[in-house]
């Protein structure tokens, strides 16, 4: 396909796909799926070789969030039967983090529900980081605490945070349909604040919330414009008790196309296969490793993932290796001496300047996320009942 040849050539040079090209990737048919994965895989290997970075989530504070994000089991008004607890003590969080590191995780992601932290909360997190670093001095720390002020971002950097996660989730045009208690602009502001404080910016999306192909592409282009270092791609987990519980529209094939599109727009950026992979990719998970270079190990915030040992087997069986602590995650041109971000290549600036000519109709492929919703598979959503906030060992 001329499209894929062009995208590989651009990706190998670190240049981003245009809006039109990204839409065309989403519009490819299932018959062309392996060709799309192969092409994206060439770009992935150019910048990341055969390494897979492992990340491990620790949910510091679960449930009872005042925000109304429609996708979230912790949202205001959610009746999902998730674990609910206040802040873990530093040593409890360190216990959970230690399990992830022992399982091969290079980065520990500390997450707390809520609109954003108070200054006291930031100090709690600082104490937790000290406890984790006491046991694993070389582990990377990513914090995800909601909306952040410039001062708080600087304090987290001083406390040893390497990266800050705050996902855009969906496009600016439809964000108000997903959440009303904060705005798309609020999220962009937090990503910029963390970046300006010297933290590596981590921001991604959630697919499967009823968005259009244009929304998906617009979100990824916005992330590229923000020069983020890592892009987690989540697939909606339709928790019972949330407004999107009936949104079962994704197929494994369409998930792979979304990942490939993200890789072509962000060729030299860490693309992370995140929440919902087990539910929506199912037996095609190993194929995704040829496109992404990063995954979460084990369980998520409020739902179970597949066993950590199965993750490691999947990586080895697919011919990949776990990225080690002494291996740089990002290509050299995206790194700076202090471990912060170097920004996207100049080529990224042209990503969104091409004429927005309509691409092929993305609803024409048999694996797209449009049309009638699939039957709800509530059996695939398992609520987390182990690890942080419980007396049971974590899954790592």
Binding residues for [4Fe-4S] cluster: 65, 69, 72
Examine the residue annotation and report whether 272 is marked as an active-site residue of this protein.
yes
Binding residues: 65, 69, 72, 109, 142, 202, 272
DSSP letter at 267 equals: T
φ, ψ of residue 143 to 5 degrees: the values are -105, 145
φ, ψ of residue 163 to 5 degrees: the values are -140, 155
Examine the residue annotation and report whether 69 is marked as an active-site residue of this protein.
yes
Tokens 């996660």 sit on residue:
165
Which of 19, 51, 65, 334 is an active site residue?
Answer: 65
| Alpha-carbon span 160 to 87, nearest angstrom | 19
Which of 272, 277, 334, 384 is an active site residue?
Answer: 272
Q: Are the C-beta atoms of residues 314 and 289 closer than 8 Å to each other? A: yes
User: Taking the CB of residue 52, how many other CB atoms lie within 10 A of it?
Assistant: 26
DSSP per-residue letters across 285-333 = HHHHTTT-SEEE-S--SSB--S-HHHHHHHHHHTT-EEPPTTS-SS-GG
Examine the residue annotation and report whether 266 is marked as an active-site residue of this protein.
no
Of residues 212, 169, 206, the one with CA closest to residue 22: 212
Which of 144, 179, 202, 266 is an active site residue?
Answer: 202
Examine the residue annotation and report whether 72 is marked as an active-site residue of this protein.
yes
| Alpha-carbon span 148 to 46, nearest angstrom | 34
| Residue 112 to residues 147, 158, 275, Cα–Cα distance (Å) | 11, 19, 16
Q: Are the C-beta atoms of residues 13 and 346 closer than 8 Å to each other? A: no
Strand partners, 383: 303
Which of 44, 51, 107, 109 is an active site residue?
Answer: 109
Of residues 262, 284, 229, 175, the one with CA closest to residue 53: 229
Which of 19, 44, 51, 72 is an active site residue?
Answer: 72
Q: Are the C-beta atoms of residues 305 and 278 closer than 8 Å to each other? A: yes
Binding residues for [2Fe-2S] cluster: 109, 142, 202, 272
Q: Are the C-beta atoms of residues 297 and 54 closer than 8 Å to each other? A: yes
Q: Are the C-beta atoms of residues 290 and 44 closer than 8 Å to each other? A: yes
Chain centroid to CA 195: 17
Q: Would you say the C-alpha torsion 307, 139, 268, 26 has a positive or negative sign?
A: positive
DSSP letter at 394 equals: P
Examine the residue annotation and report whether 109 is marked as an active-site residue of this protein.
yes
Strand partners, 55: 107, 296
Examine the residue annotation and report whether 142 is marked as an active-site residue of this protein.
yes
Q: Which two tokens stand for residue 54?
A: 């492992």
Residues annotated catalytic, as ranges: 65, 69, 72, 109, 142, 202, 272
């Amino acid at each position: 396909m001329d499209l894929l040849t062009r995208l590989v050539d651009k990706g190998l040079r670190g240049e981003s796909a245009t809006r039109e090209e990204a839409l065309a990737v989403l519009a490819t048919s299932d018959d062309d799926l392996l060709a799309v994965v192969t092409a994206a895989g060439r770009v992935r290997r150019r910048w990341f070789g055969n390494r897979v970075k492992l990340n491990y989530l620790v949910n510091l504070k679960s449930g009872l969030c005042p925000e109304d994000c429609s996708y979230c089991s912790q949202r205001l008004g959610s009746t999902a039967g998730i674990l609910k607890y206040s802040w873990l003590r530093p040593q409890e969080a360190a216990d959970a983090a230690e399990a992830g590191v022992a399982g091969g995780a290079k980065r520990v992601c500390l997450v707390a529900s809520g609109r954003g932290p108070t200054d006291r909360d930031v100090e709690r997190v600082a104490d937790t980081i000290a406890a984790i670093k006491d046991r694993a001095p070389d582990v990377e720390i990513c914090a995800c605490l909601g909306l952040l002020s410039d001062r708080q971002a600087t304090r987290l950097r001083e406390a040893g945070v390497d990266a800050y996660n705050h996902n855009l989730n969906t496009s600016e045009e439809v964000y108000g349909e997903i959440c009303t208690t904060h705005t798309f602009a609020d999220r962009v502001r937090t990503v910029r604040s963390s970046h300006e404080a010297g933290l590596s910016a981590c921001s991604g999306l959630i697919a499967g919330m009823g968005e259009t192909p244009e929304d998906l592409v617009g979100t990824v282009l916005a992330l590229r414009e923000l020069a983020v270092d890592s892009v987690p791609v989540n697939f909606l987990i339709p928790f019972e008790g949330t407004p999107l519980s009936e949104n079962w529209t994704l197929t494994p094939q369409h998930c792979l196309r979304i990942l490939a599109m993200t890789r072509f727009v962000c060729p030299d950026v860490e693309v992370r296969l995140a929440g919902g992979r087990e539910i929506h990719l199912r037996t095609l998970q190993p194929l995704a490793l040829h496109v992404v270079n990063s995954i979460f190990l084990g369980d998520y915030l409020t739902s179970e993932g597949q066993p950590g040992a199965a993750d490691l087997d999947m990586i080895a069986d697919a011919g990949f290796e776990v990225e080690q602590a002494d291996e740089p995650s990002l290509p050299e041109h995206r790194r700076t001496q202090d471990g912060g971000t170097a920004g996207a290549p100049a080529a990224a600036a042209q990503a969104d300047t091409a004429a927005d000519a309509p691409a092929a109709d993305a609803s024409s492929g048999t694996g797209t996320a449009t049309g009638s919703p699939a039957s709800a598979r509530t059996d695939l959503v398992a609520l987390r009942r182990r690890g942080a906030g419980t007396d049971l060992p974590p899954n790592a």
